[in-house]
Amino acid sequence: MVAVEEASLRVGVRVEAHDPQLGQVKLGTVRAAFSPIVHQRSARLAYGWLAFDTVLYFAFISGALIVHLLAIRLVFGVLAGVMTASLFVWAHDAAHGALFDLTRKAEVLGTLAMLPSMQMYGLWSYGHNRVHHGFTSLSPVDWIWRPWTPGEYSTASRPARLVYRIERSLPGCGLHYFLRVWWAGMVRFHGDKNLRDRYHFGISKLITTVFAIGGGTLAWIVGRGWTATVAAIVVPWVVFNYAIALIIYLHHTHPRRPFFNDRQRWNATVAQVACSTVVRGGPIYEALTHNISVHTPHHIDTRIPFYRLKEAYADLKAAGFGADIVEYRLRWSSVHEIFKTCKLLDFDTQTWYGFSDLERIAVPSSRAAT
């Protein structure tokens, strides 16, 4: 009885400490665990998967335009949204230079593959490659899915708290990607002149705008009405936003994985090995997501193509790094528990809190979150 009462009084979930020796290992040493084959590119696999994604995408878009029954149109739109996410993951690898050298070929094909998701290739590449991969889980820099502290939440305005609660819920997590990445990180982001010129921000925005307006107009004409535009353009984009938000969340958020808000406590090796996860799903899931949820080897070395990630993960485990990597099966119970647990984070104590825990803890003062 006493044990039950003590358990009921426990508040928060402490992040599992990684092996302290991991921080003493250089990232190059971890990369040396990979066998040479994981860096071997295959034009057949790269173009083959691009063709697979593209054919299915256009097949589902055709269904959304040809069929006039609204419910069926929307089903085709959802399926097109799944393939939109698949095309995005392919473009993601192209942007990393994993499929081709970082040449015009990668930029052109990556831009085209990102158009259905309306991601702006140049802006996305900068934010993802330089910011997210350069400073993984260092929250002042790598801001995607950055958790608020209890203090930030308690001092935030009611509207801000509402938005945050929606973002941190399984049904509403797509809002995070829309607001924080697409809208703030691409549509409204300008950067300095050097960044704009190097990553072709203006051209990326123009191409995406032309696609959105032109594609929407063409869908209206071919499908004979606004429902065709909704089913062929809007629904796939909404599905993509939700899918990619959920996938990224699961890649880097887990009760056992840390976030850092102090550069002095952050370490590149720890960030790439211990701040990402490996989420295993069935063969259909892993094929449609191009193995991207075997995520830790990708963070350790972005040059590894998606079709070699499983082999790379096997190399990491064989070299003894498996103990520092969180791996789990993609199940409803697992996803539900992660969303339930990982609401607010005390960076100092590395403790996750739920919203209901705020009534039982001393919340330090903090500047309001925006």
Residues 6+ apart with CB under 8 A from 105: none
Residue 31 has pLDDT above 50, yes or no: yes
Q: Is residue 31 included in any domain, yes or no?
A: no
Q: For 10-15, what is the mean pLDDT?
A: 74
Token reading at 12: 């928060």
* Inter-CA distances, 63 with 66, 67, 183, Å: 5, 6, 29
How many Å apart are CA 231 and CA 210, to the nearest integer?
18
Average pLDDT, rounded, for the chain: 90
- More confident site: 307 or 13: 307
Which is nearest to 195 in space by CA: 242, 129, 280, 287?
129
Phi, psi of 291 (to 5 degrees): 60, 15
Check residue 53 and give its pLDDT. Answer: 98
Q: For 327-355, what is the mean pLDDT?
A: 94
Among all chains, which residue has been given the structure tokens 């969340």?
249
Percent pLDDT > 70 in the chain is 92
Q: Is residue 2 included in any domain, yes or no?
A: no
Check residue 358 and give its pLDDT. Answer: 86
Residue 191 has pLDDT above 90, yes or no: no
Q: Is residue 13 included in any domain, yes or no?
A: no
Residue 29 has pLDDT above 80, yes or no: yes
Q: Is residue 16 included in any domain, yes or no?
A: no
Token reading at 3: 């044990």
Residues 315, 35 contacting (CB under 8 angstroms): yes
Q: 369 falls in which pLDDT band (50, 70, 90)?
A: very low
Check residue 21 and give its pLDDT. Answer: 82
State the residue range of the domain holding 131: 43-360
The secondary structure of the chain in percent helix, strand, coil, rounded to multiples of 5, reads 65, 5, 30
Percent pLDDT > 90 in the chain is 76
How many Å apart are CA 259 and CA 132, to the nearest integer?
13
Q: Is residue 277 included in any domain, yes or no?
A: yes
Q: What is the DSSP letter of 354?
A: -
Helix (H, G, I), strand (E, B) or coil at 344: strand
Q: What is the DSSP letter of 37?
A: G
- More confident site: 202 or 151: 151
Residues 121, 198 contacting (CB under 8 angstroms): no
Residue 367 has pLDDT above 50, yes or no: no
Q: Is residue 368 included in any domain, yes or no?
A: no
Token reading at 303: 């040059």
- Other CB atoms within 10 Å distance of the CB of residue 194: 8
Q: 339 falls in which pLDDT band (50, 70, 90)?
A: very high
Q: Is residue 53 included in any domain, yes or no?
A: yes
How many Å apart are CA 219 and CA 21, to the nearest integer?
56
Q: 76 falls in which pLDDT band (50, 70, 90)?
A: very high
Check residue 10 and give its pLDDT. Answer: 54
Total domain count, the chain: 1
Residues 344, 149 contacting (CB under 8 angstroms): yes
Check residue 370 and give its pLDDT. Answer: 42
Check residue 360 and give its pLDDT. Answer: 80
Q: For 2-29, what is the mean pLDDT?
A: 68
Check residue 199 and give its pLDDT. Answer: 63
Q: Is residue 136 included in any domain, yes or no?
A: yes
Residues 70, 227 contacting (CB under 8 angstroms): yes
> Residue 89: which H helix or E strand, with range?
helix 70-96
Model confidence over 77-128: pLDDT tens digits? 999 999 999 999 999 999 999 999 768 899 999 999 999 999 998 888 888 9
Q: For 48-58, what is the mean pLDDT?
A: 98
